[in-house]
Structure 1
């Protein structure tokens, strides 16, 4: 039967109907198989499918999981629940070299895989015969390991291979942007995680928009200018003061851009004269120069201001007692 309905009043709904229809409520996955669903453990309390070991025996804790049928496009997913810890015996280590055993969920369904079995187990996966599986842990079995030699060194032998999934309405995971773009008919508000960019996207009427991760930060950077930090006064050289209500201050943005503002007041003509010192941590990466406003009767009413990598501020071409503006002077600070 190609069209199925759950819990028909006639009572003709079968076990496979229930599996496929309940499986349809699980989280989607980018796949050429329409009935495929995202594999993994269903998140819950505690530490699902945690593994412990002693000697040559692993013990896998309770869990609930989704195992996608891998034998046929029409197979659909299997919901598997393990209610109690399961002991999994391991074969002794090989005579030469180490071996990696993968503990996982194995489903056999003879209707699809022609194995002659209908079962769900937690055991070591055999890639030669097991097709519908969900890996949980890798265990490195050392050369010659056995109960008599102390077995597997469990504190260092286990590699966690668990992945997690969610029911329909949770976040959909896809491998890359091309896979995300194929989801053109999903509802607005759908969330998709793209592994290639390690970012979360939301579907809006205008298309996909970043919801978390670096693409979101990049988008925000184009909208909002990062605000500077606190203003700190410069240390003025002897004989240099600042204008009334216009102290010479500096601040630094989180990106390292240093801003200066205020007014230096000089009691004498100056040329190649130190005006002050910027606060520690705000020094420029290299010598920087500006032409800035200065109140003097000479042409252009301006002066040259330099800030050295040491943080010393100097001024040039101030021919009479005057003031020199520090407003709008900026540079990139050291990292």
Structure 2
């Protein structure tokens, strides 16, 4: 199928030159084969992005592309035929007078033809916002598009008898709203583009935006969440409940757990997606030690006992440490003798 350069760069058709350049640099860094060595399709995508930028960054080729689409390379020839081609729709059956020159024959070398014979597929673009839960489980969306369809009066020819079709104004198309049901696969993430072809003339490109979640932060196929653990469980060990996308699970916290320590729970993340992908990513539970703002008198007394015990252990350790002798004039010679003895 013809390549849509605007869709390839992810920019609208009225994008400014700076926006085109910014999109190209971002995608070039992302898909450069020397950088993205893990994706077998990165090199092909990089070439497509580069081709799109070469066309859209040049004002002349961009004008030709905007006017002639995938046939922009034949712009000079097509401009030469524009005058003759404009009058053909007035003729019955796509011929001019009795000369027998058909539209298909004239424009066949350029891949055009009538409005829906061999015309370039129209590319539509829309954005869809979903929740993380929908991205995890997969979801469906009903999307209404306003795209060109063959005129029901002239069946796409653009003529009615010997005059322009009054229903479509001679364009051969009519703008009819259609509602499509689109399936968003499991594991979809922000920035993913889903391509749908409801018919052989229309291509719908859907860019997905996954809303931020109040509990989880997404990192590719992994999820990260903060888990509160009491200071006692952090010191002595214990169990905490960890939220996942399918419900809570119990995590055993070892004694001596420190603030910010991460525990990786295999297979509890997002579904992996993409060509050949399977399984799920991981869930990273990040420990946040919770300290109470208020304590009862009994709790304070027990903690004071613990502190006293701890201070006693520190004093014992300090008593076991012998202070070094003060340096004397003969200290250097003693050090030298000791060093010599060790040798």
Fold agreement, TM-score > 0.5: no
Q: Hey, which of these two has a bigger chunk of helix by percent?
A: 2
Q: TM-score, normalised by structure 2?
A: 0.19
Q: TM-score, normalised by structure 1?
A: 0.20
Q: Hey, which of these two has a bigger chunk of strand by percent?
A: 1
